[in-house]
Structure 1
Amino acid sequence: MTRTEHRWLLPSAPADHELPGDRAGARRTARDWAVDIAAFLCAAGAALPALGVVDADPATPDGVVFADVLIAAASCCALWLRRRRPVWVAVALAVVSAVEPAALGALMVALFSLAVHRPFRPVASVGAAALAAAAVQPLLRPDPASSYIASTVIGMLLILLVISWGMVVRSRRRLVLTLRDRVVRAESEAALRAEHAQRLAREAIAREMHDVLAHRLTLLSVHAGALEFRPDAPPAEVGRAAGVIRDSAHEALQDLREIIGVLRSPGEGDEGNRPQPTLATLPALVEESRAAGARVTLDNGVADPAGAPAATGRTLYRIAQEALTNARKHAPGAPVAVTVTGGPGDGLTIEVANPAPTEPFDPVPGSGQGLIGLTERASLAGGTLTHGPAPDGGFTVLAHLPWPADAQPPSPGPG
């Protein structure tokens, strides 16, 4: 999958109308049922005192009291529809509350739900209608125990308080969703970067294997040509050439098994004639680092470095090269110890360790892609690689690569 396709799969930031609970078709969860029941009970509890005041007034006809009870019950039941039609429920309750004081509690719940689940524009429009109803209701149904101004101010303050509370809850939910989306995006981008680094490592390994394979085939061609043009060569020379051809063919088959499935970057020039690093060239790498000013010590405990398999030696060389580069970048001036041990049947182990730098320096930013590439390279070679900070503040890279007991030594080049 390409980087563009990955970006299409990344979650987008939530739109202003896509908060949890905004969608009309969403099924109620257990939490939603608990919230709806609590909202219904709160609206009913707020309606009871208003109905008690109306019922206690002897001038109120019984028919009006009965109608108030029915309207209050219908207002509370209308709250069950607020998830599907929050705007229309709030508008209807605002109109009803203009003539029915017992519907004020249901209106407050509807306004809070509207402010939580809808953007500012519809909330402001419905809130303006509710404020107008709060000014009209004391005129049509005045409270005997309170003045018109006091009733109007209290009603408007309650409406503004509920709407403000709902908008705060909505803002907090949007913040949580945004932070969650950023975390998901960061993890996705990190996965993309790691995948890109692994792909680059595979391409580099494929190029190196291609170069080695070209060298093997060149050996086959040279020695086969020698046998063709010198059919009268001594038997010892013919046998030696045949042995080189056999070993080169065997190693070429091994390289073909490794290169299958690894993609080689298109558009790059043919570099098949360049020499490939091996375990035997590791001392030269250390000398290069010393010439550059690094304090590097090499402890090579391998009895026969030239006998190590070419692919394994090349991988070990690349690990040492990247580890020394990282040490120069992130711990300049600190001594670096390179230790190599192992042999046929036991495998090869390399450890590159450095203590914490003692001199101040300007840190070089790093992305960690080199270490990801080293891990991928060691994994493709059948080994393992670990890295991390040491207890003394330094850094250690440790890798183990296989070296079969019956591995064929690298073939010599044509003479």
Structure 2
Amino acid sequence: MAESWAAMRTAPRRTVIAESLLCALTASFGLVPLLLVRPDRPALAVLEALWATLLVAARRDRPVAAVLGVSPLLVGHNIWTLAAVALVVLSATRRVAPTRRAWQVVGTACVAVAPLTVVQVIPRWEDLPVELAGNAVSVVLLLLLPALAGTLLGRRRLLVNLLRERNSYLEQARSLSASTARLAERNRIAGEMHDLLGHRLSLISVHAGALELAAARQAPPLSGQAELLRTTAGTAMEELREILGVLRHADLADESGSDRGTREDIAALVAESRRAGGVIELDWSVPDSAVVGGRTRQAIHRVVREGLTNVLKHASGAPTRVEVRSAGGGTEVSVTNGVPRTEGRSQGGTHSGLAGLQERISLLGGAFEAGAAPNGGFRVAAWLPSQEQQEEGVHAYAGTAVTPPTDALRPVSGATGQGGQGRQAGQGGSRSPLSDEILTWPRVLGAGCASVLVILPTVGYLMFLLLTASLR
């Protein structure tokens, strides 16, 4: 009961309203007709109506118990609750997996109808054959056929989920193909600019330096203009190198704010996560005098933001520590969380955010690490070289505190999920396209059409029973 109440509190508001209205409608449909047509046993009929309402409410969280609980309604005195029997069986069998188990539960409910019928007709044994025949028809039309339709719809739901997953894979593949094509075109443009403009600017800079020396000896008044020409050529060369870096790699300046990655910015991220329910501690030990480039600050912002987002999504309530400090001549940033304090299972993810961080950090010449922590939590850490090291092309890891193992810098798509509860990339992220023999539109649509055809006799039988009861 406590689990059902907790599931109701976490369910979407639309679902709660719909379920409440359905339960109210079931209770009204089972009780209101009793005021117009008095049954032989009114108290028992009222209890059956309330029992049917309880089964309708429990069919989502307790499908097995709901199917087993419809047996007394099939032999009961309140004929208006039979509509709820078909609804409960149809909805509950969709949620019982595998299909063999669903049919085992339905078979148990069918077998239970026989002794209940015998108990019901003990005072009048002469009616036993008629009662058994009538209840057998009800079992077939109100239990077996809805169960068949429910299992068909349950298989259809699995096929639809697989079809959506395959569509997601194809969308990601198309996006990656488009990104590869854009990157190839940008590399071609960068190569053309380097070959054409780079050579010319280098010549201008060399000749401007020679002109400056000659002007200093022969025409001192012109030495200032010659120096301006040389410095301008050098500045143009530096700006060209920056543009070429942007063209050759992903755009590292997608967050253009100049205050990204500062102490105030990281403190604001931590405060925002705390307001969202996180237990987060910030340790910033980078000296204020340290020179941190714009790209490094943006990378710091991205690492902290991605780490805190993953903590809130997959390990909500876990104690978390954010560290930003100087290490190995560069900057080390890490987000480490412990085991969540509340029970809850992470649904995993596609690891696309971690993969993006891996690419961003590698383009800056740093090192990236993401994986399970020894205490059962999760750790995301990165080491970013200084601006001088980036200009010198340093690609080796120089940190001392973050010591990734040999396989830590493999593609992040294979990393373990938050808190050790995530799924592998083949389970929670992209997987190979499934076979066309499994995922076909006729199979997906056919299951829904077949379930509708199967349930039509049940609908006709219910209409006949209810119409007969109304005319009495």
Q: Larger radius of gyration, structure 1 or 2?
A: 1
TM-score (norm 2): 0.38
